[in-house]
Structures are given as structure tokens and as C-alpha cells.
Copies of this chain bind each other. A is one copy, B any other.
Amino acid sequence: MRAHIVHAHPEENSFTAAMRDTAAEELRAMGHEVTISDLYAMKFNPVLSRDDFTELRRPEHLAYTAEQRNAWYKGHLAPDIKAEADLTLAADLLVLTFPVYWFGMPAIMKGWVDRIFLSGPFYTGAAQYGAAGMKGKRALVAASLGGREHMFGPRGLHGELTTGMLRHLLWGSLGVVGYDVVEPYFAFHAPFVDAAERQAMLDRLRGHVRQVENLPVLPMPNLANFDEKFVPKA
């Protein structure tokens, strides 16, 4: 198996960086090949624009997803996009390690999704969820949070974390492009816990990664319930 880890944290000595290293170590110990993209270290550009294409099909009006498809098939993608798309497409497992900011990814990683999940190889308007390009691959989110676990759940202050606050990522991004999205791993209250608890959180992550091929997969929409324009069937 080949795994691609995409990591975003502004500091190299962070707990989240230790999460990245723990995941990479465990995957290698399991015999998998691992590539890592450390977005801050790469100074990854998260801001999509017409500069993402070396040639435009229709320069007078930018239709970004149409340009993505054209550029992918004609070889007109900016080199940083092509390199990341190739690593991601070559991997059977995508792992995202990041600190949750405002119930989403840091902007540098949101922009990785904006620019790398290309219309064409990853999904199209007609090919989403189980019909999309990443079908048969797995995705694992391993994230740290400042909040405590009791703030989430049906009676929690913020409601459900996996199915609520992070629905946009787990379903709306990873799910839409076709990944089998496994149960995510969360390190709660990470900036505030002591060294023993941090080690315990890394040990739990190691166990989670070891089980990645057997972890429960989040239930995605059943395409049989929709027609070819995604209108719900009666």
C-alpha cells in the first residue's frame, strides 16, 4: 500500500507534527510506502487563480473547473498542482494531519483541497461520492483540537463533530471525490494537556493507524436513490 500524508501546522515542534511523524512511522512499520507533503515547509500556495494553468482554454472568462479538466488532460497545470495531484492519485491512502481551526482545516490545507482535488481525475459534476475518481481508496483525518471532548455530541455545545461540524470535510470534500473515509482520529484539548496525556494521545493514534484497513467507514449517499442529475427518486 502507498500512503500520502498531507500536513499543515505553522510550527515544526508542535504536537500535530508529532502526530504526522507517528502516523508515518506506523505506516512504514506496517510495510507501506509513505510520502509526506508538509505544506508550511513547502510554502504551498493555497490561493487558486488563473495562474494555476500555463494555458487557458477560455481566458476571457475563467471557468475554474472546466480549466482544471482541460489542463489535466492537455498538460497545462502549474507544476506545484501537478506534483501534488500525482502524489495523491498514486496513493491508496490519504492522511491529513492538522490542527482544527474554526471547525475546518488551516487555510493552507483548505487551499490544497481547492487546488488539488481536480475536476477530471478526482470527480466531475456527474461523478461524485461512490462514482468519483478516488473510489476504492481510503482517507484518514487525524486532527488536534483546542476544545474538550465534552463540547461535542448530541448535547454538546458545538453539536456533533464528525457528522456535524466536520461534515463539509468528511462528506463534502473527501466523500465527494470518492474516498472511503474512515472514522477520524481526534486529539482533544491538545495545547493544554500534560506530557503523559500527549504521549497517550500519540499511542492511541498509532493504534488507530494500525487499524486503518479495518476501521469503520463513514456512510456516504447511496447513488441508487438519485437519477443522473442527482434528483432524488420518488
B-binding residues in A (CB < 8 A): 10-11, 13-14, 40, 46-50, 61-65, 101-108, 110-111, 113-114, 117, 125, 128-129, 146, 148, 150-151, 155-159, 164-169, 171-173, 176, 191, 221, 225-226, 229-232
Q: Are B171 and A168 in contact (CB under 8 A)?
A: no
Given contacts A11-B62, A168-B168, A107 and B48 within 8 Å (CB-CB): yes
Q: Are A13 and B61 in contact (CB under 8 A)?
A: yes
Q: How far is the CA of A40 from the CA of B47 in the complex (A)?
A: 9
Q: Are B101 and A114 in contact (CB under 8 A)?
A: yes
Q: How far is the CA of A46 from the CA of B103 in the complex (A)?
A: 16
Copies of this chain per assembly: 2
Which chain B residues lie closer than 8 Å to A165 at the CB level? 167-168, 171-172
Which chain B residues lie closer than 8 Å to A10 at the CB level? 47-50, 62, 64
Which chain B residues lie closer than 8 Å to A171 at the CB level? 158-159, 165
Q: Are A11 and B103 in contact (CB under 8 A)?
A: no
Question: Which one of B61, B65, B105, B128 contacts A157 once the chains associate, using CB atoms below 8 Å?
Answer: B128
Given contacts A146-B125, A150-B231, A232-B150, A106 and B11 within 8 Å (CB-CB): no
Q: Considering the complex, give the chain B residue whose CB is closest to the CB of A13.
A: B61
